[in-house]
Amino acid sequence: MAISLPPLPYADNALDPHISDRTISFHYGKHHAAYVNNLNGLIEGTDLADASLEEIIAAAEPGGASNPALFNNAAQVWNHTFYWNSMRPSGGGDPSGPLAAAIDASFGSVDAFKQQFAADSVGNFGSGWTWLVREDDGLAIVKTDDADTPIKHGQTPLLTIDVWEHAYYLDYQNARPAYVETFIEKLMNWEFAAANFAR
């Protein structure tokens, strides 16, 4: 059972003008697709050939000597799929219900969360991801490097932003702060985060 490239949850141009269809064509159509193709090549003919994506990630070690390519490609397939769902057309705004209450409890307010999430995303050095996650004692913002993912560390991701340069360079060049602000204010999918929180 090969790993497939999941369809986008919206049309290629649905995030315009914030994320262009040109960026989607490269980021989803080239980068994400390449991770899927690479992963299928790595698992073909192995004990993981019929495993789920989560099982493959659990079987690999981030940065491990055994097969770092296996983890990197599997985790990047998972991370990117989660990222596309973390955005939606006409997104942004504020959460409501139990998620909003949890954010208030963990960060003091939704505005305080947004400020910290923005600062951590802009300050996430190099290539990686910034996540809102649920932990045993509440919500937290975590940063991961390269392909690393919270599901490898027992955390429940609620939403994420991709801060690899290929996620924003065609639209924002080196202005990562503008990309992060746009993600938070115009694209963030609170409904997706709330559904993950409710699990």
The pLDDT tens digits for 115-147 are: 999 999 999 998 999 999 999 889 999 999 999
Read off the pLDDT of each residue in 21-49 and give the average, rounded to a whole number: 96
| Buried/exposed 57-93: b ≥16 CB within 10 Å, e otherwise | bebbebeeeeeeebbbbbbbbbbbbbbbbbbbbebbe
- The two beta strands, 138-145 and 156-162, are unpaired
Contact 12, 24 (CB under 8 A): yes
Structure token digits, residue 162: 């991709």
CATH architecture type of domain 97-197 = 3-Layer(bab) Sandwich (3.55)
Give the pLDDT score at 65. Answer: 46
Give the pLDDT score at 137. Answer: 87
97-107 and 190-197 helices, crossing angle to 10°: 90
Structure token digits, residue 163: 């801060």
What are the residue ranges spanned by the domains of the chain? 21-85, 97-197
199, with CB counted inside 10 A (0-12, 13-18, 19+), is exposed
110-122 and 97-107 helices, crossing angle to 10°: 70
Tokens 């390449």, residue located = 34
- CATH of span 21-85: 1.10.287.990
Read off the pLDDT of each residue in 153-175 and give the average, rounded to a whole number: 96
Nearest by Cα to 128 from 61, 57, 80, 187? 80
